[in-house]
Structure 1
Amino acid sequence: MYLVGEIATFRRMLCIVIALMLVRFVNSTMNTSAVLEGMFAGYDKRIRPSCREDGNSSMATSDEDPPVRIYVQIYIESIDGIKETTMDFSITMYLRMKWQDSRLAFNGNRSLVLAGYGMDIAWLPDVYFVYEKQASPHLVTQANKLLRIYPNGSLSYSGRFSITVACNMQLNKFPMDSQKCTIIISSYAYNTDEVVLYGDEFSIVKEPGIMISKFKMTKHMVENKDIKYSIGNFSGVRCNFYFTRQVEAFFLTVYIPTVLLVTIAWLSFWIDAKAAPARVALGVTTVLTVTTMTAGIQNSLPVVTYAKAIDIWLVVCLMFVFISLLEYGAANYLLVGEMKSSESPPGSASQDSKQNELDLRGAQSTRRRRRLTANQLDRYARWCYPFVFSIFCALYWIFFLTMD
Structure 2
Amino acid sequence: MDDSLSLSESQNKRLRDFHLSGESEELAESLMKILRIPEGGNPQQKRVVVQVFVNRIFSVNDVEASVNLDFYLKVNWIDEKYIGVSDDDFQDDEQKFEEGWWEPGVEVSNAIELEKLIEKDEAFWVEHPAHGILAYTQRFIGTISTPMELQHFPFDSQKIPIVFESFHWKAEDMLMFRLEKHAVQFNPGPNKEWPTMSMAVTLPEWYKMGITLDDRINYYSFEDRNYSQIVFALHVKRNFKFFLYKVYAMVFLIQIMNWSIFVLDPDQLDARIGIAVTLFLAAVAFNFVLASTLPRISYNTRLDWYILIAYVYIVVALVESCIVFLIAKYHTESDAWDIAKNIDWAFLAFCPFSFFLYNLKYFISAWLLYRKDRFKRSLAPEQLANAPPRQTNRPQQSSQAMEMTRNPISKAAAQ
- TM-score where L is the length of structure 2: 0.67
| Equivalent residue number for residue 353 of structure 2 | 387
List per-residue Cα deviations over 1:216-264 (Å, max 9, x = no partner).
Answer: 2211111111122345322221212212111111112210000000001
Aligned to 2:209: 218
1:202 aligns with 2:182: yes
Deviation, 1:143, is 8.0
Q: Report whether the alignment pairs 1:86 with 2:73.
A: no
Aligned equivalent of 1:156, options 135, 141, 145:
135
The answer to whether 1:181 aligns with 2:129 is no
Partners in 1 of 2:170 and 2:218 — Cα distance? Answer: 10
> 1:188: Cα distance to partner?
1.9
Report the CA distance shift for 1:107/1:299 in structure 2 as closer, same or farther (over 3 A).
closer
Contact 1:170–1:179 under 8 Å retained in 2:
yes
Structure 1, unmatched stretches of 5+, are: 1-49, 54-62, 342-366
Once residues 348 and 37 of structure 2 are traced to their aligned partners in structure 1, the CA distance between those partners, rounded to angstroms, is 85
> Counterpart of 1:172?
151
1:84 Cα deviation after fit = 2.4
1:183 match: secondary structure: strand
Q: Secondary structure at the match of 1:206?
A: coil
Per the alignment, residue 146 of structure 1 pairs with: 123
CA distance in 1, matches of 2:96, 2:198: 27
1:227 alignment partner in structure 2: 218
Match of 2:254 among 227, 243, 261: 261
Q: 1:138 to 1:107 in 2, by over 3 A?
A: closer
The equivalent of 2:278 in structure 1 is 285
Give the superposed CA RMSD. 3.2
Alpha carbons of 1:272 and 1:156: their partners in 2 closer, same or farther (altered >3 Å)?
Answer: same
* CA distance in 2 between partners of 1:228 and 1:184 (Å): 14
Percent identity of the aligned residues?
18
1:259–1:103 Cα change, 3 Å = same
2:296 counterpart of 1:316: no
Q: CA, structure 1 residues 221+145, in 2 after alignment: closer, same or farther (shift >3 Å)?
A: farther
Q: Which letter does structure 2 place at the counterpart of 1:82?
A: V
In 1: Cα distance, 2:248 partner to 2:96 partner:
56
Q: Pick the aligned partner of 1:301 from 294, 300, 312.
A: 294
* Deviation for aligned residue 1:112: 6.2
The answer to whether the 8 Å contact 2:104/2:168 transfers is no
Structure 2 residue matching 1:125: 3-state secondary structure:
coil
- Do structure 1's residue 129 and structure 2's residue 108 form an aligned pair? yes
Query: Structure 1 pair 123/233, CA: closer, same or farther in 2 (3 Å)?
Result: same
Amino acid at match of 2:58: D
Q: Quickly say closer, same or farther: Cα 1:265–1:76, change in 2 above 3 A.
A: same
Counterpart Cα distance in 1 of 2:298 and 2:103: 44
Q: Residues 52 and 226 of structure 1: is their aligned pair in 2 closer, same or farther, counting only changes over 3 Å?
A: closer
Residues 268/189 of structure 1: CA separation in 2 closer, same or farther (3 Å cut): same
State how far apart, in whole Å, the 2-side matches of 1:390 and 1:145 are.
64
CA distance in 2, matches of 1:266, 1:93: 53
Q: 1:71 aligns with which of 28, 35, 49?
A: 49
Cα gap change, 1:371 to 1:206, in 2 (>3 Å): same
In structure 1, the partner of 2:401 is none
SS at match of 2:211: strand
> For 2:164, what is the secondary structure of its paired residue?
strand
Quickly say closer, same or farther: Cα 1:118–1:289, change in 2 above 3 A: farther
Specify the SS of the correspondent of 1:225.
strand
Aligned residue in 1 for 2:76: 98
Count the aligned residue pairs: 315
